[in-house]
Amino acid sequence: MSAPSHQIGWKTAVAIVVSSMIGTGIFTTLGFQLVDITNTYSIFLLWIIGGMLALFGAFCYAELGSHFKGNGGDYLYLKETYHPILGYLVSWVSLIIGFSSPVALAALAMSKYLSVFDYTFGTGFSIAIIILVSMSLSFSLKSSSKFHNFFTFIKVAFVIVLIILGVVLSGPETGNSLSFGEGWQKEMMLPAFATSLVFVTYSYTGWNSASYIAGEIKDVQKNLPKSLIIGTVFVTVCYVLINYIMLKHASLDQLVGKEDVMDKAANNMLGLSFGKVVNIFIALQLVATISGYLWVGSRLTQAFAKENHLWKTLSVNNKKGIPVRAIFAHTVIAILIILTGTFKEIFVYTAFLLQLFASLSVSTVFFLKKKDRKIFKSDLFYIFPTVFLLFSIYILYFTFIHNPRESVIGLGIVAFGIVLYLIDKRLSKPES
């Protein structure tokens, strides 16, 4: 029996994973890391650890997605394993932060990278891009897939070409940021190494994206793990190489504390004219990032809205089965985030909350019985969630210590979600 025509294959699922991961983080965070961490081995190690954690998390989500099936991801895992309040909170955080903030950050990064041209691309441009992408995802699953796959192809092709050029071309005569000394052992012990992991783990956000739309994937037990693992490994290799070429083609003075780090490297590597072309492609590939987060986020929000009184209106599909109201809810929230916060502030509290709830979700695999596991039958499987959770605790602790204001903002959002849960529960009583 053939799969329903509305389902997507593993290639589109991989495209969603790759497009959700490669985006704002890799092209904006190196400058923040270089404030305290300058040894190249340390930088590589940060990104390898991030990739390892993403891969271990992907193994866990592959099991969870194959077991629970259906759309919803974290919402399903936490609601079914622990308590409905955690499912509610992760959905609330996903609506307000998890999927809307990356959309806002990607749109802001687009404006930043296009600012090399004479015309100033400000917040108005960022907002317009989000609205246009939202509209493109609102017609049908087929048109959404074509749109998303097209921009993901641009993303992947651009990244591969950029890496090849960066590796082959020689660095600038004025110097670079490569430093292969022995200081990396000392840098690993610094609190700054842990806080740098916050930026890195955010850059890997999206490794779990295909699990949210498990209900739309053909042969989910085979294709979900395939998409998560292929996507995560591909992105990890790309991230290490992209960092290498940015360090190779720009000096520390050009990179430290800057957001548009690839702009500096590209100008040195290709000259000002071709450097501007690179900026255009960075902006174009961020369209796929925005598309991926709006697509996946709207499905999680829809699954959440169907079961909660306050949010019922967001569960409505259009005639083609697209959750248009959920898509535009994320659109509106992303626009509000753009209008109310700075890039780095949004970045830190988003990374903090996403790491917190990813950890809670990964912990649910400990409640899967061996007979329920579809992919990993050996008990060695528990190495993956254990390592993931230990690193998460390490990251969350240092994030809170060194960024207390942003962490408290994040926890305040969670606290407000608890209030909404209690109100929602009370409003739902008469219907039972």
CATH number at residue 304: 1.20.1740.10
Q: Are 309 and 431 in contact (CB under 8 A)?
A: yes
Look at the chain and count its residues: 432
In tens, the pLDDT along 62-114 reads: 788 777 766 667 878 898 889 989 988 988 888 888 888 889 888 988 888 78
pLDDT of residue 416: 94
| Mean pLDDT for the stretch of residues 347-371 | 87
Return the pLDDT at 69. 66
d(CA 227, CA 17): 7
Contact 108, 100 (CB under 8 A): no
Give dist(CA 392, CA 60) in Å, integer. Answer: 14
Residue 287 lies inside a defined structural domain of this protein: yes
Tens of pLDDT along 415-429?
Answer: 999 999 999 888 876
- Are the C-beta atoms of 293 and 146 separated by less than 8 Å? no
Provide CB contacts within 8 A for 34, sequence distance 6+. 43, 177, 252, 255, 256, 257
| Percent of all residues in the chain with a pLDDT value above 70, rounded to a whole number | 94
Q: How would residue 334 be classed by pLDDT, with cut points 50, 70 and 90?
A: very high
pLDDT, tens digit, for every residue of 240-290?
Answer: 999 999 999 988 888 888 877 888 888 888 887 787 888 888 888 888 888
Average pLDDT, the chain: 83
Residue 431 lies in a domain: no
Residue 136: phi, psi to the nearest 5? -65, -25
- Give SS3 for 8: strand
Question: How many Å apart are CA 27 and CA 190, to the nearest integer?
Answer: 24
Cβ neighbors of 259 (< 8 A, separation 6 or more) are: 28, 31, 109, 112, 343
pLDDT digits (tens, 9 = 90+) for 22-72: 877 788 788 888 888 889 999 999 999 999 998 898 888 878 877 776 666
The domain of 226 spans: 10-426
Contacting residues for 166 by C-beta, under 8 A, at least 6 apart: 241, 242, 244, 245, 246, 248, 249, 265, 269
- H helix intervals, 310-403: 324-340, 343-363, 383-402
pLDDT of residue 323: 87
Per-residue model confidence (pLDDT) at position 1: 36
Average the pLDDT over 144-167 and give the result. Answer: 85
Residues 6+ apart with CB under 8 A from 132: none
CA distance 46 to 201: 9
Please give the pLDDT value at position 355. Answer: 87
- CB of 42 closer than 8 Å to CB of 193: yes
- For residue 332, the model assigns a pLDDT of 93
- Nearest partner of 107 among 289, 244, 326, judged by Cα: 289
The CA distance from 5 to 176, in Å, is: 52
At 311, the amino acid letter reads: W
Q: Is residue 40 part of a domain?
A: yes
For residue 141, the model assigns a pLDDT of 74
pLDDT of residue 150: 84
What is the structure's pLDDT at 430? 56
Instruction: Report d(CA 135, CA 331) in Å as an integer.
Output: 10
Number of H helices, E strands in the chain: 17, 0
User: Distances in Å between the alpha carbon of 138 and those of 105, 318, 356, 362, 421?
Assistant: 22, 8, 31, 31, 29
Per-residue pLDDT of 374-416, as tens digits, reads 777 888 889 999 999 998 998 888 888 888 998 999 899 999 9
Identify whether the C-beta of residue 225 lies closer than 8 Å to the C-beta of residue 375: yes
Helix or strand holding residue 194 (H, E): helix 191-203
Please, what is the angle between helix 343-363 and helix 40-68, to 10°?
Answer: 50
31, 258 Cβ separation under 8 angstroms: yes
Angle at which helices 10-21 and 220-248 cross, to 10°: 30
Dihedrals φ, ψ of 334, to 5°?
-60, -40
Distance between CA 31 and CA 163 in Å, rounded? 19
- Total tally of structural domains belonging to the chain: 1
Mean pLDDT of 207-213: 69
Band (pLDDT 50/70/90 cuts) for residue 3 is very low
pLDDT band at 146 (very low <50, low <70, confident <90, very high): confident
Handedness of CA 117, 118, 119, 121 (dihedral sign): positive
Distances, alpha carbon 312 to alpha carbons 121, 299, 326, 416, 418, in Å: 36, 13, 10, 19, 18
Beta strands in 114-247 (DSSP E): none
pLDDT at position 112, please?
80
Check whether 432 has a pLDDT greater than 50. no
Structure tokens at 16: 């969603």
Q: Over the stretch 157-174, which tens digit does the pLDDT of each residue have?
A: 888 998 999 988 887 766
Predicted pLDDT at 214: 65
Contacts of 399 (CB under 8 A, 6+ apart): 194, 195, 198, 348, 351, 352, 355, 406, 407
Q: For 249-260, where are the alpha helices, taking DSSP H only?
A: 252-255
* Structural domain contains residue 225: yes
